[in-house]
Amino acid sequence: MAYRELFVVEIREVLRLWQKGFGYRRVATLAAVDRKTARRYVEAAAALGLEREPHVEITDELIAALVTVIRPGPSSTPGAMGLRCRDHRDLIEGWLDDGCKAPKIQRLLARHSGVVVPQRTLQRFIAEELSRSSSRTSTVRVADPPPGQVLEVDFSQLGSFEDLDSGRRRTLHAFICTASRSRHMFVWPCLSQMQRDVIEGLEAAWAFFGGVFAVLLPDNMKTVVERANPLSPRFSEPFVEYAQARGFVIDPARVRKPQDKARVERSVRYARDDFFGGERFGSLLQAREAAERWCREVAGVRVHGTTRRQPLQHFTDEELQVLLPAPEQPYAVPLWTTAKVGRDHVVVVEHALYSVPQDHRGQELRVRADRATVKLYRGATFLKSHPRVGEGEAQIDPTDLPVGTAALAMRDGSSLQRKAEGLGPSVGEYARRLLDDPRPWSRMRHVYRLLGLGKRFGGPLLEEACEQALALDVVDVVRIDRMLQRGLPGRRQPPPAQRARASNVVPLRFARAPETYRAAGSEQPGETDAPT
Protein backbone atom coordinates (compact mmCIF):
# COMPACT_ATOMS: atom_id res chain seq x y z
CA MET A 1 0.00 0.00 0.00
CA ALA A 2 1.31 3.48 -0.91
CA TYR A 3 2.18 5.89 1.86
CA ARG A 4 -0.70 7.98 3.09
CA GLU A 5 -0.37 10.74 5.65
CA LEU A 6 -3.10 10.52 8.24
CA PHE A 7 -5.40 13.31 9.29
CA VAL A 8 -5.52 14.50 12.90
CA VAL A 9 -8.73 12.65 13.67
CA GLU A 10 -7.30 9.40 12.26
CA ILE A 11 -4.09 9.76 14.28
CA ARG A 12 -6.07 10.37 17.46
CA GLU A 13 -8.23 7.31 16.74
CA VAL A 14 -5.17 5.03 16.21
CA LEU A 15 -3.64 6.15 19.51
CA ARG A 16 -6.96 5.86 21.36
CA LEU A 17 -7.51 2.26 20.20
CA TRP A 18 -3.93 1.36 21.13
CA GLN A 19 -4.48 2.79 24.61
CA LYS A 20 -7.54 0.54 24.98
CA GLY A 21 -5.29 -2.51 24.57
CA PHE A 22 -5.94 -3.52 20.95
CA GLY A 23 -3.10 -4.95 18.91
CA TYR A 24 -1.74 -3.38 15.76
CA ARG A 25 -3.81 -5.60 13.45
CA ARG A 26 -7.05 -4.79 15.29
CA VAL A 27 -6.17 -1.10 15.47
CA ALA A 28 -5.53 -1.04 11.72
CA THR A 29 -8.85 -2.72 11.03
CA LEU A 30 -10.92 -0.44 13.28
CA ALA A 31 -9.17 2.76 12.16
CA ALA A 32 -9.16 1.75 8.46
CA VAL A 33 -5.42 2.26 8.06
CA ASP A 34 -2.52 0.03 7.11
CA ARG A 35 -1.03 -2.07 9.93
CA LYS A 36 2.47 -0.74 9.25
CA THR A 37 1.16 2.81 9.36
CA ALA A 38 -0.53 2.14 12.70
CA ARG A 39 2.67 0.64 14.10
CA ARG A 40 4.76 3.60 12.93
CA TYR A 41 2.44 6.19 14.58
CA VAL A 42 2.13 4.18 17.83
CA GLU A 43 5.87 3.65 18.17
CA ALA A 44 6.59 7.32 17.50
CA ALA A 45 3.95 8.35 20.08
CA ALA A 46 5.41 5.98 22.68
CA ALA A 47 8.85 7.46 22.05
CA LEU A 48 7.36 10.88 22.76
CA GLY A 49 6.07 9.67 26.14
CA LEU A 50 2.55 8.44 25.45
CA GLU A 51 1.58 5.70 27.91
CA ARG A 52 -0.77 2.82 27.21
CA GLU A 53 -3.29 3.88 29.78
CA PRO A 54 -6.85 4.90 28.88
CA HIS A 55 -6.81 7.86 31.28
CA VAL A 56 -3.76 9.51 29.61
CA GLU A 57 -4.95 12.44 27.44
CA ILE A 58 -3.90 12.62 23.81
CA THR A 59 -3.20 16.37 23.40
CA ASP A 60 -2.95 18.45 20.27
CA GLU A 61 0.65 19.27 21.14
CA LEU A 62 1.51 15.55 21.20
CA ILE A 63 -0.10 15.00 17.81
CA ALA A 64 1.77 18.04 16.34
CA ALA A 65 5.09 16.66 17.61
CA LEU A 66 4.17 13.21 16.31
CA VAL A 67 3.45 14.56 12.81
CA THR A 68 6.79 16.37 12.84
CA VAL A 69 8.62 13.15 13.70
CA ILE A 70 7.01 10.90 11.12
CA ARG A 71 6.70 13.41 8.27
CA PRO A 72 8.50 12.21 5.17
CA GLY A 73 12.09 13.38 4.80
CA PRO A 74 13.32 16.43 2.94
CA SER A 75 12.19 17.07 -0.58
CA SER A 76 14.03 15.34 -3.33
CA THR A 77 16.85 17.06 -5.13
CA PRO A 78 15.70 19.56 -7.75
CA GLY A 79 15.30 18.40 -11.31
CA ALA A 80 17.04 19.68 -14.38
CA MET A 81 14.93 22.84 -14.61
CA GLY A 82 15.52 23.63 -10.94
CA LEU A 83 19.26 23.18 -11.39
CA ARG A 84 19.17 25.65 -14.28
CA CYS A 85 17.53 28.18 -12.00
CA ARG A 86 20.24 27.62 -9.40
CA ASP A 87 22.93 28.19 -12.02
CA HIS A 88 21.45 31.61 -12.80
CA ARG A 89 20.56 32.55 -9.24
CA ASP A 90 22.43 35.90 -9.33
CA LEU A 91 20.74 36.99 -12.53
CA ILE A 92 17.30 36.08 -11.19
CA GLU A 93 17.91 37.95 -7.93
CA GLY A 94 19.04 41.05 -9.85
CA TRP A 95 15.92 41.04 -11.98
CA LEU A 96 13.77 40.60 -8.89
CA ASP A 97 15.45 43.65 -7.34
CA ASP A 98 14.57 45.61 -10.49
CA GLY A 99 10.90 44.78 -9.95
CA CYS A 100 10.55 42.03 -12.54
CA LYS A 101 8.05 39.21 -12.06
CA ALA A 102 8.34 35.54 -13.03
CA PRO A 103 6.86 35.90 -16.57
CA LYS A 104 9.31 38.69 -17.37
CA ILE A 105 12.26 36.81 -15.81
CA GLN A 106 11.35 33.75 -17.88
CA ARG A 107 11.69 35.82 -21.08
CA LEU A 108 14.90 37.48 -19.88
CA LEU A 109 16.52 34.12 -19.14
CA ALA A 110 15.69 32.89 -22.62
CA ARG A 111 16.96 36.11 -24.19
CA HIS A 112 20.25 36.51 -22.30
CA SER A 113 21.28 32.92 -21.55
CA GLY A 114 19.24 30.79 -23.90
CA VAL A 115 17.76 28.99 -20.87
CA VAL A 116 14.12 28.00 -21.15
CA VAL A 117 12.52 27.29 -17.78
CA PRO A 118 8.81 26.59 -17.14
CA GLN A 119 7.13 29.51 -15.45
CA ARG A 120 5.78 27.38 -12.58
CA THR A 121 9.27 25.98 -11.87
CA LEU A 122 10.66 29.52 -11.84
CA GLN A 123 7.93 30.71 -9.46
CA ARG A 124 8.60 27.76 -7.12
CA PHE A 125 12.35 28.48 -7.16
CA ILE A 126 11.75 32.15 -6.33
CA ALA A 127 9.36 31.34 -3.50
CA GLU A 128 11.26 28.42 -1.92
CA GLU A 129 14.95 29.14 -2.44
CA LEU A 130 14.94 32.93 -2.69
CA SER A 131 12.18 33.36 -0.09
CA ARG A 132 10.33 35.75 -2.36
CA SER A 133 6.95 35.70 -3.98
CA SER A 134 6.79 36.42 -7.70
CA SER A 135 3.12 37.34 -7.70
CA ARG A 136 1.62 38.07 -4.30
CA THR A 137 3.13 39.40 -1.12
CA SER A 138 1.90 38.59 2.35
CA THR A 139 -0.65 40.91 3.83
CA VAL A 140 -2.96 41.28 6.82
CA ARG A 141 -6.64 41.96 7.01
CA VAL A 142 -7.46 45.42 8.32
CA ALA A 143 -10.32 45.64 10.77
CA ASP A 144 -13.54 47.20 9.56
CA PRO A 145 -14.11 50.86 10.56
CA PRO A 146 -17.07 51.96 12.70
CA PRO A 147 -20.46 52.12 10.94
CA GLY A 148 -20.93 55.12 8.65
CA GLN A 149 -17.32 56.20 9.02
CA VAL A 150 -15.39 55.51 5.79
CA LEU A 151 -16.36 55.55 2.12
CA GLU A 152 -13.67 54.28 -0.26
CA VAL A 153 -13.73 55.65 -3.82
CA ASP A 154 -11.89 54.89 -7.04
CA PHE A 155 -12.13 55.32 -10.81
CA SER A 156 -12.27 52.48 -13.33
CA GLN A 157 -12.48 52.30 -17.10
CA LEU A 158 -15.35 50.00 -17.96
CA GLY A 159 -15.08 49.90 -21.74
CA SER A 160 -16.78 51.66 -24.65
CA PHE A 161 -20.32 52.11 -25.91
CA GLU A 162 -22.08 53.49 -28.98
CA ASP A 163 -23.66 56.86 -28.19
CA LEU A 164 -26.88 56.86 -30.21
CA ASP A 165 -27.37 60.63 -29.86
CA SER A 166 -24.02 61.59 -31.40
CA GLY A 167 -23.25 58.40 -33.29
CA ARG A 168 -19.78 58.29 -31.73
CA ARG A 169 -17.97 55.51 -29.94
CA ARG A 170 -17.39 56.77 -26.39
CA THR A 171 -15.21 55.44 -23.59
CA LEU A 172 -17.19 54.75 -20.42
CA HIS A 173 -15.57 55.29 -17.03
CA ALA A 174 -17.05 54.59 -13.61
CA PHE A 175 -16.68 56.35 -10.28
CA ILE A 176 -17.09 53.57 -7.71
CA CYS A 177 -17.92 54.14 -4.04
CA THR A 178 -17.83 51.31 -1.46
CA ALA A 179 -18.84 51.52 2.20
CA SER A 180 -15.87 50.08 4.10
CA ARG A 181 -17.96 48.27 6.69
CA SER A 182 -21.03 46.93 4.89
CA ARG A 183 -19.48 46.75 1.37
CA HIS A 184 -22.60 48.40 -0.04
CA MET A 185 -21.46 50.01 -3.31
CA PHE A 186 -22.52 52.70 -5.76
CA VAL A 187 -21.39 52.99 -9.39
CA TRP A 188 -21.56 56.32 -11.27
CA PRO A 189 -20.80 55.98 -15.03
CA CYS A 190 -19.12 59.04 -16.59
CA LEU A 191 -17.20 60.03 -19.71
CA SER A 192 -14.03 61.34 -18.03
CA GLN A 193 -12.20 61.42 -14.72
CA MET A 194 -12.20 65.18 -14.14
CA GLN A 195 -12.94 66.97 -10.88
CA ARG A 196 -16.51 67.72 -11.91
CA ASP A 197 -17.05 63.96 -12.40
CA VAL A 198 -15.78 63.27 -8.87
CA ILE A 199 -18.08 65.89 -7.35
CA GLU A 200 -21.08 64.85 -9.46
CA GLY A 201 -20.44 61.22 -8.54
CA LEU A 202 -20.26 62.03 -4.83
CA GLU A 203 -23.43 64.12 -5.03
CA ALA A 204 -25.20 61.15 -6.61
CA ALA A 205 -23.66 58.83 -3.99
CA TRP A 206 -24.99 60.91 -1.07
CA ALA A 207 -28.47 60.69 -2.59
CA PHE A 208 -28.07 56.93 -3.17
CA PHE A 209 -26.82 56.18 0.36
CA GLY A 210 -29.18 58.66 2.00
CA GLY A 211 -26.42 60.56 3.82
CA VAL A 212 -22.78 61.61 3.88
CA PHE A 213 -19.94 59.47 5.24
CA ALA A 214 -17.59 61.10 7.75
CA VAL A 215 -14.35 60.15 5.95
CA LEU A 216 -13.62 59.90 2.22
CA LEU A 217 -10.78 57.54 1.30
CA PRO A 218 -9.60 58.12 -2.31
CA ASP A 219 -6.34 57.32 -4.00
CA ASN A 220 -4.01 60.16 -5.02
CA MET A 221 -6.03 61.28 -8.03
CA LYS A 222 -4.99 64.78 -9.13
CA THR A 223 -8.54 66.04 -8.91
CA VAL A 224 -8.37 65.54 -5.13
CA VAL A 225 -4.67 65.49 -4.14
CA GLU A 226 -2.36 68.07 -5.74
CA ARG A 227 0.78 66.80 -4.01
CA ALA A 228 0.91 63.27 -2.63
CA ASN A 229 2.62 62.71 0.70
CA PRO A 230 1.97 59.94 3.24
CA LEU A 231 2.11 62.42 6.13
CA SER A 232 1.03 65.82 4.81
CA PRO A 233 -0.63 65.69 1.40
CA ARG A 234 -1.78 68.91 -0.23
CA PHE A 235 -5.35 68.83 -1.48
CA SER A 236 -6.99 70.64 -4.37
CA GLU A 237 -8.60 73.89 -3.18
CA PRO A 238 -11.92 73.36 -5.01
CA PHE A 239 -12.26 69.85 -3.57
CA VAL A 240 -11.40 71.04 -0.05
CA GLU A 241 -14.15 73.62 -0.44
CA TYR A 242 -16.55 70.86 -1.47
CA ALA A 243 -15.53 68.76 1.55
CA GLN A 244 -16.23 71.75 3.80
CA ALA A 245 -19.66 72.20 2.22
CA ARG A 246 -20.61 68.54 2.76
CA GLY A 247 -18.90 68.03 6.14
CA PHE A 248 -16.55 65.11 5.43
CA VAL A 249 -12.77 64.87 5.78
CA ILE A 250 -10.29 63.51 3.22
CA ASP A 251 -7.94 60.66 4.13
CA PRO A 252 -6.12 59.56 0.95
CA ALA A 253 -4.34 56.26 0.50
CA ARG A 254 -0.59 56.08 0.06
CA VAL A 255 0.93 56.23 -3.39
CA ARG A 256 0.90 52.83 -5.12
CA LYS A 257 -0.60 51.17 -2.03
CA PRO A 258 -3.96 49.80 -3.20
CA GLN A 259 -4.24 47.74 -0.03
CA ASP A 260 -5.07 50.97 1.80
CA LYS A 261 -8.46 50.90 0.03
CA ALA A 262 -8.72 47.19 -0.60
CA ARG A 263 -12.51 47.05 -0.38
CA VAL A 264 -13.16 49.37 -3.31
CA GLU A 265 -10.30 47.74 -5.24
CA ARG A 266 -12.15 44.43 -4.96
CA SER A 267 -15.32 46.17 -6.17
CA VAL A 268 -13.70 47.48 -9.36
CA ARG A 269 -13.41 44.12 -11.11
CA TYR A 270 -16.80 43.03 -9.83
CA ALA A 271 -18.45 46.16 -11.28
CA ARG A 272 -16.60 45.82 -14.59
CA ASP A 273 -17.46 42.15 -15.07
CA ASP A 274 -20.89 41.81 -13.48
CA PHE A 275 -22.41 45.20 -14.32
CA PHE A 276 -20.83 46.24 -17.63
CA GLY A 277 -19.96 42.85 -19.09
CA GLY A 278 -22.28 41.89 -21.92
CA GLU A 279 -24.33 45.12 -21.69
CA ARG A 280 -25.12 47.49 -24.56
CA PHE A 281 -25.88 51.07 -23.59
CA GLY A 282 -27.10 53.74 -25.99
CA SER A 283 -26.42 56.79 -23.81
CA LEU A 284 -24.74 57.89 -20.61
CA LEU A 285 -28.11 58.42 -18.93
CA GLN A 286 -29.14 54.87 -19.74
CA ALA A 287 -25.88 53.54 -18.24
CA ARG A 288 -26.42 55.53 -15.05
CA GLU A 289 -29.96 54.29 -14.58
CA ALA A 290 -28.84 50.70 -15.17
CA ALA A 291 -25.94 51.11 -12.72
CA GLU A 292 -28.20 52.30 -9.91
CA ARG A 293 -30.60 49.40 -10.46
CA TRP A 294 -27.69 46.96 -10.49
CA CYS A 295 -26.32 48.39 -7.21
CA ARG A 296 -29.67 47.96 -5.47
CA GLU A 297 -31.03 44.78 -7.03
CA VAL A 298 -27.89 42.74 -7.74
CA ALA A 299 -24.81 43.93 -5.85
CA GLY A 300 -26.82 45.01 -2.83
CA VAL A 301 -28.63 41.71 -2.28
CA ARG A 302 -25.80 39.23 -2.94
CA VAL A 303 -24.20 37.50 0.04
CA HIS A 304 -20.77 39.05 0.41
CA GLY A 305 -17.96 36.53 0.63
CA THR A 306 -16.29 38.17 3.66
CA THR A 307 -19.17 39.50 5.76
CA ARG A 308 -21.58 36.70 4.76
CA ARG A 309 -24.36 39.30 4.76
CA GLN A 310 -26.28 41.15 2.10
CA PRO A 311 -24.54 44.57 1.72
CA LEU A 312 -27.78 46.53 1.36
CA GLN A 313 -29.33 45.00 4.47
CA HIS A 314 -26.05 45.29 6.36
CA PHE A 315 -25.84 48.98 5.41
CA THR A 316 -29.46 49.63 6.39
CA ASP A 317 -29.09 47.94 9.77
CA GLU A 318 -25.79 49.50 10.89
CA GLU A 319 -24.74 52.49 8.81
CA LEU A 320 -27.71 54.40 7.44
CA GLN A 321 -28.79 55.88 10.77
CA VAL A 322 -25.33 57.21 11.67
CA LEU A 323 -24.55 59.01 8.40
CA LEU A 324 -24.35 62.79 8.22
CA PRO A 325 -27.50 64.41 6.77
CA ALA A 326 -27.83 64.21 3.01
CA PRO A 327 -27.53 67.58 1.20
CA GLU A 328 -30.80 69.27 0.37
CA GLN A 329 -29.51 71.49 -2.46
CA PRO A 330 -27.20 70.50 -5.34
CA TYR A 331 -23.64 71.73 -5.05
CA ALA A 332 -22.55 74.45 -7.46
CA VAL A 333 -19.15 73.30 -8.67
CA PRO A 334 -16.88 76.39 -8.54
CA LEU A 335 -14.17 77.45 -10.94
CA TRP A 336 -10.94 78.69 -9.33
CA THR A 337 -8.63 80.71 -11.57
CA THR A 338 -6.39 83.78 -11.65
CA ALA A 339 -7.05 87.04 -13.51
CA LYS A 340 -5.15 90.29 -13.93
CA VAL A 341 -6.87 93.62 -13.32
CA GLY A 342 -6.68 95.71 -16.48
CA ARG A 343 -6.33 99.45 -16.92
CA ASP A 344 -10.10 99.71 -17.14
CA HIS A 345 -10.43 98.29 -13.57
CA VAL A 346 -12.04 95.00 -14.67
CA VAL A 347 -11.05 91.33 -14.81
CA VAL A 348 -12.13 88.81 -17.43
CA VAL A 349 -13.66 85.60 -16.05
CA GLU A 350 -15.10 83.04 -18.47
CA HIS A 351 -15.36 85.71 -21.21
CA ALA A 352 -17.29 88.13 -18.99
CA LEU A 353 -16.18 91.41 -17.35
CA TYR A 354 -16.30 92.18 -13.63
CA SER A 355 -15.18 95.43 -11.98
CA VAL A 356 -12.50 95.65 -9.29
CA PRO A 357 -11.83 98.52 -6.83
CA GLN A 358 -9.52 101.02 -8.55
CA ASP A 359 -6.56 100.66 -6.15
CA HIS A 360 -5.92 97.07 -7.43
CA ARG A 361 -5.19 97.91 -11.06
CA GLY A 362 -2.47 95.70 -12.56
CA GLN A 363 -2.58 93.07 -9.78
CA GLU A 364 -3.14 89.30 -10.05
CA LEU A 365 -6.31 88.20 -8.26
CA ARG A 366 -7.68 84.79 -7.34
CA VAL A 367 -11.17 84.27 -8.72
CA ARG A 368 -13.86 81.86 -7.58
CA ALA A 369 -16.81 81.49 -9.95
CA ASP A 370 -19.86 79.29 -9.54
CA ARG A 371 -23.30 79.29 -11.14
CA ALA A 372 -24.52 82.27 -9.10
CA THR A 373 -21.58 84.43 -7.99
CA VAL A 374 -18.04 85.51 -8.83
CA LYS A 375 -15.77 86.30 -5.87
CA LEU A 376 -12.43 88.13 -6.12
CA TYR A 377 -9.56 87.62 -3.67
CA ARG A 378 -6.20 89.31 -3.22
CA GLY A 379 -4.27 86.45 -1.64
CA ALA A 380 -6.50 85.41 1.26
CA THR A 381 -8.24 88.81 1.44
CA PHE A 382 -11.76 89.02 0.06
CA LEU A 383 -12.21 92.03 -2.24
CA LYS A 384 -15.45 91.88 -4.16
CA SER A 385 -18.43 89.73 -5.04
CA HIS A 386 -20.51 90.01 -8.22
CA PRO A 387 -23.54 88.16 -9.58
CA ARG A 388 -22.50 85.75 -12.34
CA VAL A 389 -23.28 86.96 -15.88
CA GLY A 390 -23.05 85.23 -19.22
CA GLU A 391 -20.29 85.34 -21.80
CA GLY A 392 -19.85 88.72 -23.44
CA GLU A 393 -21.70 90.54 -20.63
CA ALA A 394 -20.32 92.86 -17.96
CA GLN A 395 -21.02 93.42 -14.27
CA ILE A 396 -19.66 96.86 -13.31
CA ASP A 397 -20.05 98.46 -9.90
CA PRO A 398 -19.94 102.29 -10.29
CA THR A 399 -18.20 102.62 -6.91
CA ASP A 400 -15.20 100.76 -8.34
CA LEU A 401 -14.57 103.39 -11.02
CA PRO A 402 -12.45 106.55 -10.53
CA VAL A 403 -14.22 109.55 -9.02
CA GLY A 404 -16.13 111.60 -11.59
CA THR A 405 -16.15 108.93 -14.29
CA ALA A 406 -18.82 106.56 -13.05
CA ALA A 407 -21.85 108.41 -14.43
CA LEU A 408 -20.39 108.81 -17.91
CA ALA A 409 -18.99 105.26 -17.99
CA MET A 410 -22.28 103.78 -16.89
CA ARG A 411 -24.40 106.23 -18.96
CA ASP A 412 -26.10 107.03 -15.70
CA GLY A 413 -28.14 110.18 -16.30
CA SER A 414 -30.11 109.63 -13.10
CA SER A 415 -27.06 110.30 -10.92
CA LEU A 416 -26.43 113.57 -12.77
CA GLN A 417 -30.10 114.42 -12.34
CA ARG A 418 -29.82 113.94 -8.58
CA LYS A 419 -26.71 116.13 -8.38
CA ALA A 420 -28.52 118.89 -10.28
CA GLU A 421 -31.54 118.67 -7.97
CA GLY A 422 -29.16 119.22 -5.08
CA LEU A 423 -28.37 122.69 -6.48
CA GLY A 424 -32.03 123.68 -6.66
CA PRO A 425 -35.39 122.65 -8.12
CA SER A 426 -34.98 124.82 -11.24
CA VAL A 427 -31.51 123.40 -11.87
CA GLY A 428 -32.92 119.89 -11.47
CA GLU A 429 -35.75 120.62 -13.89
CA TYR A 430 -33.31 122.17 -16.34
CA ALA A 431 -31.13 119.05 -16.17
CA ARG A 432 -34.15 116.86 -16.75
CA ARG A 433 -35.06 118.90 -19.84
CA LEU A 434 -31.50 118.59 -21.08
CA LEU A 435 -31.49 114.78 -20.65
CA ASP A 436 -34.86 114.39 -22.36
CA ASP A 437 -33.20 113.67 -25.68
CA PRO A 438 -32.43 110.50 -27.70
CA ARG A 439 -28.74 111.48 -27.87
CA PRO A 440 -27.50 110.42 -24.39
CA TRP A 441 -23.82 111.14 -24.78
CA SER A 442 -24.07 114.74 -25.96
CA ARG A 443 -26.89 115.59 -23.55
CA MET A 444 -24.93 114.18 -20.60
CA ARG A 445 -22.07 116.46 -21.55
CA HIS A 446 -24.51 119.39 -21.37
CA VAL A 447 -25.50 118.36 -17.84
CA TYR A 448 -21.81 118.05 -16.87
CA ARG A 449 -21.32 121.68 -18.05
CA LEU A 450 -24.42 122.77 -16.13
CA LEU A 451 -23.02 121.24 -12.91
CA GLY A 452 -19.69 122.95 -13.64
CA LEU A 453 -21.45 126.31 -13.77
CA GLY A 454 -22.81 125.56 -10.31
CA LYS A 455 -19.27 125.16 -9.03
CA ARG A 456 -18.10 128.42 -10.72
CA PHE A 457 -20.97 130.75 -9.91
CA GLY A 458 -22.63 129.04 -6.97
CA GLY A 459 -25.94 127.33 -6.61
CA PRO A 460 -28.15 130.39 -5.97
CA LEU A 461 -27.05 132.24 -9.13
CA LEU A 462 -27.38 129.08 -11.22
CA GLU A 463 -30.82 128.42 -9.74
CA GLU A 464 -31.95 131.98 -10.65
CA ALA A 465 -30.54 131.70 -14.17
CA CYS A 466 -32.27 128.37 -14.76
CA GLU A 467 -35.53 129.75 -13.41
CA GLN A 468 -35.42 132.70 -15.84
CA ALA A 469 -34.47 130.42 -18.75
CA LEU A 470 -37.29 127.99 -18.00
CA ALA A 471 -39.77 130.88 -17.87
CA LEU A 472 -38.78 131.71 -21.44
CA ASP A 473 -38.64 128.01 -22.41
CA VAL A 474 -34.97 128.28 -23.30
CA VAL A 475 -33.18 124.95 -22.77
CA ASP A 476 -29.60 125.66 -23.73
CA VAL A 477 -26.70 125.37 -21.29
CA VAL A 478 -24.58 127.72 -23.44
CA ARG A 479 -27.20 130.44 -22.94
CA ILE A 480 -27.08 129.84 -19.18
CA ASP A 481 -23.31 130.21 -19.26
CA ARG A 482 -23.64 133.50 -21.19
CA MET A 483 -26.25 134.84 -18.77
CA LEU A 484 -23.98 134.17 -15.81
CA GLN A 485 -20.95 135.67 -17.56
CA ARG A 486 -22.76 138.95 -18.45
CA GLY A 487 -24.94 139.20 -15.38
CA LEU A 488 -28.52 138.20 -14.93
CA PRO A 489 -31.24 140.60 -16.26
CA GLY A 490 -32.62 142.82 -13.46
CA ARG A 491 -29.39 142.64 -11.48
CA ARG A 492 -26.82 145.46 -11.48
CA GLN A 493 -23.66 143.70 -10.97
CA PRO A 494 -20.35 143.69 -12.76
CA PRO A 495 -19.37 140.74 -14.82
CA PRO A 496 -18.01 137.80 -12.85
CA ALA A 497 -14.40 138.59 -13.79
CA GLN A 498 -14.69 142.14 -12.38
CA ARG A 499 -16.41 140.90 -9.25
CA ALA A 500 -13.63 138.42 -8.69
CA ARG A 501 -11.01 141.20 -9.12
CA ALA A 502 -12.88 143.56 -6.81
CA SER A 503 -13.29 140.95 -4.14
CA ASN A 504 -9.62 140.12 -4.28
CA VAL A 505 -8.28 143.76 -3.86
CA VAL A 506 -5.93 144.05 -0.88
CA PRO A 507 -5.10 147.62 0.47
CA LEU A 508 -1.45 148.49 0.00
CA ARG A 509 0.60 149.68 2.95
CA PHE A 510 1.76 153.01 1.40
CA ALA A 511 -1.22 153.65 -0.87
CA ARG A 512 -2.37 157.33 -1.12
CA ALA A 513 -5.82 158.71 -1.54
CA PRO A 514 -6.87 159.65 -5.10
CA GLU A 515 -7.12 163.39 -4.14
CA THR A 516 -3.35 163.39 -3.64
CA TYR A 517 -2.82 163.21 -7.39
CA ARG A 518 -5.31 166.01 -8.30
CA ALA A 519 -3.63 168.93 -10.13
CA ALA A 520 -3.71 172.42 -8.66
CA GLY A 521 -6.53 174.67 -9.93
CA SER A 522 -8.55 171.73 -11.02
CA GLU A 523 -11.22 172.14 -8.36
CA GLN A 524 -14.73 171.79 -9.50
CA PRO A 525 -17.20 174.59 -9.12
CA GLY A 526 -18.52 174.82 -5.60
CA GLU A 527 -15.40 173.27 -4.12
CA THR A 528 -13.51 175.45 -1.62
CA ASP A 529 -10.62 174.86 0.60
CA ALA A 530 -11.36 173.76 4.02
CA PRO A 531 -11.01 176.53 6.66
CA THR A 532 -7.78 176.57 8.48
What is the per-residue pLDDT for 530? 45
| Of 258, 223, 1, 36, residue with least CA distance to 136 | 258
Q: What pTM, to 2 d.p., does this model score?
A: 0.61
Do 265 and 175 lie in one domain? The reply is yes
Which has the minimum average pLDDT: 143-147, 241-245, 340-344? 340-344
Question: Residue 258 in 3-state DSSP?
Answer: helix
Assess whether 422 and 363 both reside in one domain: no
CA dihedral 304, 308, 311, 317 (to 10 degrees): -170
- pLDDT tens per residue across span 398-408: 777 766 555 45
Q: Which of the listed residues 52, 70, 88 is the one where a domain comes to its end?
A: 70
Which CATH number covers residue 308?
3.30.420.10
Q: Are residues 376 and 450 in the same domain?
A: no
Domain that holds residue 377: 335-400
Q: Which of 158, 151, 244 is nearest to 193 (CA)?
A: 158
**pLDDT tens-digit profile of 346-370?**
999 999 999 998 788 889 999 999 8
Which residues are CB-contacts of 329 (< 8 A; sequence separation ≥ 6)?
Answer: none
| Residue 519 covered by a domain | no
Question: pLDDT tens digits, residue range 106-139?
Answer: 888 888 888 888 988 888 888 888 876 544 556 7
- Asked whether the predicted pLDDT for residue 315 surpasses 90, the reply is yes
Q: Give me the phi and psi of 103, to 5 degrees please.
A: -60, -40
Counted domains in the chain? 5
Q: Same domain for 183 and 234?
A: yes
394 and 410 belong to one structural domain: no
For residue 298, give the DSSP letter: I
Residue 188 shares a structural domain with residue 158: yes
Same domain, 180 and 305: yes
Looking at the predicted structure, is the pLDDT value of residue 532 above 50? Answer: no
Based on the fold, state whether residues 375 and 459 are members of the same structural domain: no
Residue 90 falls inside a structural domain: yes
- Per-residue pLDDT of 469-528, as tens digits, reads 888 888 888 888 888 888 776 554 555 554 555 455 566 666 666 666 666 655 555 444
**413 and 458 inside one domain:** yes
Tell which of 346, 371, 400 closes a domain: 400
**If residue 394 lies in a helix (H) or strand (E), which one and from where to where?**
strand 394-395
Banded model confidence at residue 325, pLDDT cuts 50, 70, 90? very high
Task: For residues 157 and 37, state if they share a domain.
Answer: no
358 CB-side CA count, 13 A:
11
Tell me if 25 is assigned to some domain: yes
Instruction: Please indicate, yes or no, whether residues 164 and 307 belong to a single structural domain of this protein.
Output: yes
